[in-house]
Structure 1
């Protein structure tokens, strides 16, 4: 029996063993093939990254005073072995470098590269499959430089570059790669900035959440990065006269530069200009001091000269008594700054020429001043001529010339340049008016259209499902998903309610002290004025003793309701002790705080009938108010409030004592 069974099994076992060997061999070959493909992909990705960085280096570092020389660029190109690279990546990179060379080269400097034929659409598609973000960045560079070479006039260039960049953005949208879409949008915004600032703002705001910080390892796709987007938004809002918003974005640029240890005095120009327009001259001079310290830290003579100009510009804006003497003292001797050059990739005004002309406006003869103004005007015109984005330079030119003529006392010419400035500002499109109608569909509308198309495709696919079992499975899955979502939402709401309950006093609806301190720590350190108020209910112990604790609790509840009905969402209300409360009023002066507290006090005192007692009485409170600005020591401020509260109570209760924090410190030295 066993023998027959053994004889019967052996052929079967041998058959399955042979089949298993075949299957194992097939799996092994598949694994080797997959591993080979993966390794090849990694090699292609790395090659694309390196050559992308080469394009980025040439674009931003070639023929720059602080960049790379022709010899250094030549060595990089030869080391990349790009001339002999006939792959899809090599053909695309050579095509882009060819157009870069056409815009950036001079008669004495050329890229050592020959282009037999331009890359085909299939070559570009290959790069798109490797890395979408880098592909979009490279394609945008290609579009910009190819159109710039073909059309020297800005108006003609924009007529071609904007539709091409717009199409690139639509292509990126279909990939669902947020960073790729953001890159296309920021390049499109750069072109829109010449014809319509609002469209530029829309594109930048659209891209900003998905832009990345600058990354040296991936230089091409992060060249237009989050810091640069904030900088461009600041410029756009400045051109739209919205200086308050401009300051917000300019402060981000400064803080981000500090964080990445690349701060220079140049990044301060925007915020100082905006603060001056807002007439916040003390804040502007504080920023000037910071810029001077940065230039000292960097040991940079150009940055030191630029910091000097920043200080002079604040005095020019303010034009108060003694400011002219300050300007003369700062600009009298500039000989040690002769020969200093600034980075050409930063659109700065002719600083040294401007400072010399400023001095001559106050101290020079008519002939000297006229000659200096002619030189300065020529310098501005030269900058505008060699810039692809000349509008901001021309605006700066007329604004500055107007100030200098006003400083000289020549109000006729000052008014003339102010009119020219206003004309450019009011008609920013100029000869590009017809371009403003290109691609008027909004980003939101386009996204809606794409979503509709995707929905139609999904419905079409669903209609092809014929088997009832598959339909039932889909419905079952949907039901489970809905139930899971409902349970998760219910659980989230329950957890959130518990968390909120642990942060808020049930009786008054006020925050607990630990939550309050966490909520107001950051707002109090901002540069906006705010008020901290310490409130104490008058004779509260007598209310508890005479009418009972239930009535006392009712008084606390009514007080909490009155306060919460009158404060804003940005204000914070805290139960500090038994009958003591802390109130934070955001962006509020002591005068406004006093008016609010008087209103609360009147409302509370008008409440005389209580649910838990037949007795009729009213409640009142005393308060100490401290106005603060950019303060971090909360405990010290609360102590000041407490002292003012004591003063209010000692003068008869039902009183409100207010004071600014600096005044309080002076009084209590």
Structure 2
């Protein structure tokens, strides 16, 4: 039986690294020994008590060959504790035959940090995680311990000045944040992504949570948040990085196709599914082929083609040529869903209803054992709504869609309340600030040593101490002012920039960027919404639109709450076609939002916009004047209208 620690971690992925058969005495350097121990620990954690190509006996032989049990150095102490912790709560299976012998002390970690900051970040992150999993028996309650500890570790690693080590500690922190605060987790992953290593065949403790891992977590997160364009982007990034035989490729194809379905790009989805079937058919398992064929049937069913029944029949026959029983043992949900989807394209109502009920029962049974109940509930209601829509029972479809929206609003409201919307700096800025702090502390320490060594220089040393303290005080005041500036520069309701902060930022941006666009958005009939449903609903509409914009635009773009129900968006390095596509996507997302927290009545909202394409114009007042003029014209034409125009320098 797999231990609680490794069972939890396998849900997020595990590690492996290059082979090492040398004894402790044959290592030529500390670096060589650390690489060997990294491989040994990763291999042991991943394969122990599992049915895989590496058996428990193989691992025992590797441990003996490495000389780890006899190694009394700090490295030996650390890795003995890591391996012992990984199977400490085994009840039915065997534990890794290692004895810690000595306590694990802070000085051991300090030495590892000095010699290899990246391995230190990965090893200590895992040790924090594994210890908490054992302490809390694998429950989510561990995040109350792991998240603060991993944040402290990240701060410690930042001070090493190693960008990749900082990214490694950040991605481990993101893994734990996913359990309680997915919005912060997304921010942490985006923070780490630029400096994470690409996965290699010679995997280590340090590089398994790699760029591929980060893109995979982001594609799933954006899929759950119903942002198909970003989910599609990260899925395609995985396809560019991974080997065709990697199981992550299959899920990347699945997500990319799903994102295209949600954007109603069915022709592109069919082309991508053809490529997925060809790729998966060469190297992967029947379970993965079953998954991709089911996704192709979804494309056909949801586009409501006139030949849907015939095409679905062909795919269903292909599914039945696979080892369905083996697939069902891995995923009853997948087999039950594919059957229900196929019968939704037929005319036999009783068979369809039975299949749908079976699918619902499978998900209900999963709820009893899963730690992700909210995700399963959401998936159940959404897929039932789509199945009934394909069958043509729109009343039942609406009922399940209504339940889905209520569950989604509740979950997102809780997550937004937990999320810290204050933007964080990037890794480089954090490291520079840490260096500055350390330099001041070093100066202070050196001056204190001078006091003890030479009493004759007491007066000058005291003066320097005062200078250092004043410098620290100045830095503290600067940080405090910066924090206050952050709070005053962002709108509390939407998380966007304030009008004044936006205008200040645009004054600089317009001088640098000669190819950009600016859009002024205004919610249609906003006064009617306030009068009909109350100001709290009106505020919710503004908040939802603001957060929808924030999730969709790029990091290089800027937006602010320009008026009560108005937003100003600056698209850098963009053209009119790209901006109109983004505005159309925002409009579609708002059109899908029918249920609101502070009213039981359903309604949808839209917005009109005035879009100016800049051709070297850096006169902000001139640009805003044209935006207002175009917005007024759009309002006169009706709802959800985008009025565009290019302007040249004045």
2:611 equivalent in structure 1:
none
More contact order relative to length (CA 8 Å, sep ≥ 6) = 2
In structure 2, which of residues 257, 266, 281 is the aligned counterpart of residue 272 of structure 1?
257
Map 1:97-108; keep pairs closer than 5 Å: 97-102=83-88, 105=90, 107-108=92-93
Matched, 1:53 2:39: yes
State which of 295, 304, 318 in structure 2 corresponds to 1:319: 304
In structure 2, what is the equivalent of residue 554 of structure 1? none
Asked if the contact 1:384/1:393 (under 8 Å) is kept, the reply is: yes
Q: In the alignment, what sits opposite 1:306?
A: 291
Map residues 15-414 of structure 1 onto 2, 5 A cutoff: 43-62=29-48, 68-102=54-88, 105=90, 107-116=92-101, 118-152=103-137, 154-258=139-243, 264-298=249-283, 300-332=285-317, 334=320, 336-341=322-327, 350-363=333-346, 372-373=355-356, 375-377=358-360, 379-380=362-363, 392-409=375-392, 411=394, 414=397
Q: Report Cα offsets for 1:240-279 as digits up to 9, x if no partner.
A: 3222122222111111115898874333111111111111
Bigger Cα displacement from structure 2, 188-197 vs 348-357: 348-357
Distance 1:367 1:78, change over 3 A: farther
CA distance in 1, matches of 2:358, 2:81: 41
Q: 1:458 to 1:122 in 2, by over 3 A?
A: closer
3-state DSSP class of the match of 1:350? Answer: helix
Partner SS for 2:68: coil
Return the alpha-carbon distance in structure 2 between the equivalents of residues 42 and 390 of structure 1: 51
User: Matched residues in 1 for 2:61 and 2:325: separation?
Assistant: 30
**C-alpha spacing 1:443/1:194, structure 2 compared with 1 (3 Å):** farther
Deviations 1:384-408 (A, max 9, x none): 6666666555543443233234444
Partners in 2 of 1:139 and 1:183 — Cα distance?
Answer: 11
CA contact (8 A) 2:184 2:420 kept: no
Residues 389/40 of structure 1: CA separation in 2 closer, same or farther (3 Å cut): farther
Cα deviation, residue 286, structure 1: 1.1
Conservation of the 8 A alpha-carbon contact between 2:42 and 2:204: yes
Note if contact 2:385-2:397 (Cα within 8 Å) is conserved in structure 1: yes
Q: Structure 1-normalised TM-score? A: 0.56
Give CA deviations for 1:90-109 in whole Å, capped at 9, x if unaligned. Answer: 22222222232146x56144
String of CA shifts for 1:518-552, please: whole Å, max 9, x gaps. xxxxxxxxxxxxxxxxxxxxxxxxxxxxxxxxxxx
Shift of 1:219: 1.8
Q: CA deviation at 1:57?
A: 2.4
Task: Tell me how far apart the structure 1 counterparts of residues 327 and 84 of structure 2 sit (CA, whole Å).
Answer: 29
CA distance in 1, matches of 2:128, 2:361: 32
Is 1:453–2:437 an aligned residue pair? Answer: yes
User: Would you say the 8 A contact 2:181–2:415 is kept in 1?
Assistant: no
**Cα distance change of structure 1 residues 41 and 73 upon mapping to structure 2, 3 Å threshold:** closer
User: Would the aligned equivalents of 2:74 and 2:108 in 1 still touch at CA under 8 Å?
Assistant: yes
What is the CA distance between 1:422 and its match in structure 2? 3.1
CA 156–430 in structure 1, closer or farther in 2 if over 3 Å, else same: farther
Q: Following the alignment from structure 1 to structure 2, what is the Cα–Cα distance between the partners of residues 45 and 342? A: 46
Task: Tell me: CA distance 1:95–1:426, structure 2 relative to 1, closer, same or farther (3 Å).
Answer: farther
Rounded to whole Å, the distance in 1 between the matches of 2:396 and 2:48 is 40
Which structure 1 residue ranges, 5 or more long, are not aligned? 1-38, 472-508, 510-567, 572-583, 590-599, 601-669
Distance in 2 (alpha carbons) for counterparts of 1:586 and 1:115: 59
Deviation at 1:228, TM superposition (A): 1.5
Cα distance 1:443–1:54, how it changes in 2: closer, same or farther (>3 A)? farther
Paired residue for 2:563?
A: none
Which structure has the bigger radius of gyration? Answer: 1
Contact kept, 8 Å, 1:269 with 1:310, in 2: the verdict is yes
Distance across 2 between alignment mates of 1:221 and 1:455: 28
Q: 5 Å matches for 1:647-662?
A: none
| Structure 1 residues 48 and 419: CA distance shift in structure 2, 3 A | farther
Match of 1:503 in 2: none
Q: Is the 8 A contact 2:244 2:283 kept in 1?
A: no
Would the alpha carbon gap of residues 152 and 337 (structure 1) be closer, same or farther in structure 2, given more than 3 Å must change? same
The separation in 2 between residues aligned to 1:317 and 1:325, in whole angstroms, is 14
Contact 1:316-1:403 at 8 Å conserved across structures: no
Taking the aligned partners of 1:127 and 1:106, their CA distance within structure 2 comes to 32
Q: 1:414 to 1:585 in 2, by over 3 A?
A: closer
CA shift in 2, pair 1:402/1:115, >3 Å: farther
CA distance 1:336–1:320, shift in 2 (3 Å): same
8 Å contact from structure 1 (residues 172, 184) kept in 2 = yes
Q: Aligned in 2, Cα 1:419/1:339: closer, same or farther, shift over 3 Å?
A: same
Pair 171,337 (structure 1): closer, same or farther in 2 beyond 3 Å: same
SS in 1 for 2:411: coil
Deviations 1:495-528 (A, max 9, x none): xxxxxxxxxxxxxx9xxxxxxxxxxxxxxxxxxx
Q: Which residue of 2 aligns with 1:485?
A: none
**What TM-score does the superposition give when structure 2 sets the normalisation length?**
0.58
Which range moves more in the overlay, 417-426 or 440-449? 440-449
Counterpart residue number, 1:428: 411
Secondary structure in structure 1 of the residue aligned to 2:199:
coil
Residues 370/247 of structure 1: CA separation in 2 closer, same or farther (3 Å cut): same
